[in-house]
Structure 1
Amino acid sequence: MAVDVEANTTWKMHFPILINFLMSIVAYFLTARLIPGIKEKFIKANLFGIDMSKTTSDKVPESLGVVTGCAFLITTFLFIPVPFGSSLIQGEYPHEQLVELLAALLSICCMLLLGFADDVLDLRWRHKLLLPTIASLPLLMVYYVNFNATTIVVPKPFRDLFGFSVDIGIFYYVYMGMLAVFCTNAINILAGVNGLETGQSVVIAVSIVVFNIVELSGPLWKAHQFSLYFMLPYTATTLALLKHNWYPSRVFVGDTFCYFSGMTFAVVGILGHFSKTILLFFIPQVFNFLYSAPQLFRFIPCPRHRLPKFNSKIDRLEISTTVFKYSDLNVLGKIVIKLFKLFKLIKWQEKDGVVVTNNLTLINLVLLYFGPLHEAKLVSILIGIQVVFTGVAFAIRYPLASVFYDL
């Protein structure tokens, strides 16, 4: 009898994942063929841009992330009967899991729509912070109804002060809402060169897939199975987009893709019960946000575009700069400048009180250290950084975590 139960559990665990994997392969090939066939329609609809890092002025279709998002949603919709249909046949009614799946799809669909609206209407930054918060509400409500788990385990060094665990209540929901906002904007901030948005997203998605597969053998296997339902088709459709977005890019992904990707990562992190672990896979994005924060919050003047400059004479990208008077900086701005100069994170040129510095992005920082680079090489370095910190994330999650937690 025990053997039958174990075999049934193994079947319920692996069969839906296998079907999802096969459907994802089909989604990859269909999306890869659909993108070149539909991109002319975007140009006719005036959804295009000019690649500022090329000598040509060809029109490149913009917002192709909506195609990837739709392919992902269709694949996931078609997959719904697989895990739930087999449960119904066996006389089980997994209402909670179905509600989770539908709420997750609702949040992702909302961000896909809002991202496309941003590409078309060019929304302001305050809207970009508000919209993910609204789109995450169905997600948080389902989490509240189904789990409402707001207790965190305290690291060993602090247990004498706070005990083994602490219930932080509503602040955990605030954290999850902020996670959704961060994920949707973090990829959008670290962007602007061919293949970077899709490349970093693929690395993050593959990292989550590997993590989910490792954790399938644990007690929370259903949560990680749920995450794989999303990550496998997401990875497949994003790889199809990367094929056309890699240097030299034939399509631009737009804010649509960044919002759609960020919300998908937030969904699996929250409902898959690894919302803290998922931040480990965003280490480069966290650094880029902290590094960019002085400009994003206007402690240091921030131009509209902080993309690296293209030097057509040598076919290389160089750091872009911002110019301001040092006397115009407030106290926080001056403190930030001193810290960045101390840690050699900024190129500083000052003459007669007028300052010229590099814009504060990870892209410009790489160019600061490596010098002018060809765009393809620059992107390869940035994706390499993402891969390296994926290894760091797994090291933190497994060997180092045992030092601070009872694993």
Structure 2
Amino acid sequence: MWDKIPIFVNVSLSVFGYFLTLSIIPKFRDSFLRAGIFGRDQCKKTDKKIPEAVGVLSACVFLVITFLFIPVPFGHYFFGSAAEFPYHEKVDAHLFIFVFVFSFQFVEYLAALLSICCMVLLGFADDVLNLKWRHKLLLPSLATLPLLCVYYVNFNSTTVIIPHPLRFSFGYSLDLGILYYFYMAVIVVFCTNAINILAGVNALEVGQSLVISMSIIIFNLIELSRDARQHFFSLYFMIPFFFTSLALFKLNW
């Protein structure tokens, strides 16, 4: 029951976010033009000014949706018998393991939102200030700190599973130690710049984001029969991201 309600609410909020994004972006068009944040569509013959950095508006809608969604997946622990959530040490013994797990997810959720806020700020600063490449390497790494710190405190597992073709050399798993955190930071830098490098072609950036998010959503839905809790957690972010990006894609085409 509690698994179905959050997804239903999440989808409903995401659909609302889609129409809200479609509504607010045109209303802020003149504000961006007055601020000088615009370009010209070189794919068309018209010389019409096109506002840039409007992705910050869809990102703000995404953040509002995910903030409003916070009480829903954890509502049972806010309003139910586990009234002391997230202070799991005060909970009765028979609820300990459930509240223990959900308290960690609650912290992870907030840490993810903090990292996303940092990334949104970076993206907007790049459009306004035209950051140099070295800044684009440093700032995403700093934005990963909330996630990496929470992961270190909660799990601190630095072991990775080796792909089948390499297991004869490295075995089934390999402990990377501190290199694991460096690897995760580098992955974030790569992902942000892999999207950002496509800027300038109509809807290509956000279109790639749509393809990636839809792929993750499909994978999560397929794998729900296994570790449903983790895949639901992923869907809580991916569904709003898909719908708000879809609105931006429609306006950016």
TM-score, normalized by length of structure 1? 0.56
1:119 matched to which residue of 2?
Answer: 127
Mapping 1:271-290, distance limit 5 Å:
none
2:31 matched to which residue of 1?
Answer: 41
Change (3 A) 1:197 1:155: closer
* Number of equivalent positions: 235
1:175 matched to which residue of 2?
Answer: 183
Change (3 A) 1:61 1:138: same
2:212 to 199, 204, 207: 204
Residues 1:84 and 2:92 are matched in the alignment: no
Equivalent AA in structure 2 for residue 233 of structure 1: P
1:152 matched to which residue of 2?
Answer: 160
Cα deviations by residue, 1:210-239 (Å, 9 ceiling, x for unpaired): 111111110x22221111111111101011
Change (3 A) 1:38 1:157: closer
Mapping 1:5-404, distance limit 5 Å:
11-92=1-82, 93=85, 94-218=102-226, 220-246=227-253
**1:157 positional shift:** 4.2
**1:159 positional shift:** 3.4
> How far, CA to CA, are the matches of 2:47 and 2:40 in structure 1?
6
> How far, CA to CA, are the matches of 2:27 and 2:65 in structure 1?
19
The gaps in structure 1 that reach 5 residues or longer are 1-10, 247-407
**1:102 positional shift:** 0.7
Change (3 A) 1:114 1:157: closer
Equivalent AA in structure 2 for residue 26 of structure 1: F
**1:99 positional shift:** 0.9
2:94 matched to which residue of 1?
Answer: none
Equivalent AA in structure 1 for residue 233 of structure 2: F
Instruction: Report SS of the residue matched to 1:12.
Output: coil
Change (3 A) 1:146 1:45: same
CA contact (8 A) 2:38 2:50 kept: yes
Cα deviations by residue, 1:274-319 (Å, 9 ceiling, x for unpaired): xxxxxxxxxxxxxxxxxxxxxxxxxxxxxxxxxxxxxxxxxxxxxx
Change (3 A) 1:243 1:173: same
> How far, CA to CA, are the matches of 2:163 and 2:52 in structure 1?
46
Instruction: Report SS of the residue matched to 2:117.
Output: helix
Bigger relative contact order, structure 1 or 2 (CA pairs below 8 A, ≥6 apart): 2
CA contact (8 A) 2:71 2:78 kept: no
**1:89 positional shift:** 2.8
Equivalent AA in structure 2 for residue 81 of structure 1: P
- Of structures 1 and 2, the larger Rg is shown by 1
Instruction: Report SS of the residue matched to 2:157.
Output: coil
1:294 matched to which residue of 2?
Answer: none
**1:60 positional shift:** 0.7
> How far, CA to CA, are the matches of 2:252 and 2:166 in structure 1?
47
Instruction: Report SS of the residue matched to 1:190.
Output: coil
Equivalent pairs: percent with the same residue? 58
Cα deviations by residue, 1:166-207 (Å, 9 ceiling, x for unpaired): 211111111110111011100111232111111111111110
> How far, CA to CA, are the matches of 1:35 and 1:85 in structure 2?
32
> How far, CA to CA, are the matches of 2:109 and 2:244 in structure 1?
19
> How far, CA to CA, are the matches of 2:134 and 2:166 in structure 1?
37
> How far, CA to CA, are the matches of 2:118 and 2:165 in structure 1?
42
**1:15 positional shift:** 1.7
Instruction: Report SS of the residue matched to 1:209.
Output: helix
Change (3 A) 1:149 1:12: farther
RMSD (Å), alpha carbons: 1.4
Cα deviations by residue, 1:357-395 (Å, 9 ceiling, x for unpaired): xxxxxxxxxxxxxxxxxxxxxxxxxxxxxxxxxxxxxxx
CA contact (8 A) 2:220 2:234 kept: yes
> How far, CA to CA, are the matches of 2:53 and 2:148 in structure 1?
28
TM-score, normalized by length of structure 2? 0.88
> How far, CA to CA, are the matches of 1:128 and 1:98 in structure 2?
29
1:333 matched to which residue of 2?
Answer: none
Change (3 A) 1:57 1:154: same
